Amino acid sequence: MIQRIQTLYLIVAVIVSAGLIFVFDLFTNNNQEVVFARDNYLYLGLFLGSALLSLISIFSFKNRKSQFIMGRLNIILNFILLGVFVYQSLNLSGETDVSEKGIGMILPIFSIVFLALANKAIKKDEDLVKSVDRLR
pLDDT at 55: 94
pLDDT in tens, 38-51: 888 988 999 999 99
Q: Report how far residue 121's alpha carbon sits from residue 14's, in angstroms, rounded to the nearest whole number.
A: 17
Q: Report how far residue 60's alpha carbon sits from residue 7's, in angstroms, rounded to the nearest whole number.
A: 10
Q: What is this structure's pTM?
A: 0.87
pLDDT in tens, 57-94: 999 988 889 999 999 999 999 999 999 888 877 775 55
pLDDT in tens, 6-61: 999 999 999 999 988 888 888 777 777 788 888 889 889 999 999 999 999 999 98
Q: Report how far residue 126's alpha carbon sits from residue 132's, in angstroms, rounded to the nearest whole number.
A: 10
**H-only helix segments in the chain:** 5-14, 41-59, 64-89, 107-135
Between strands 98-101 and 34-35, the pairing is unpaired
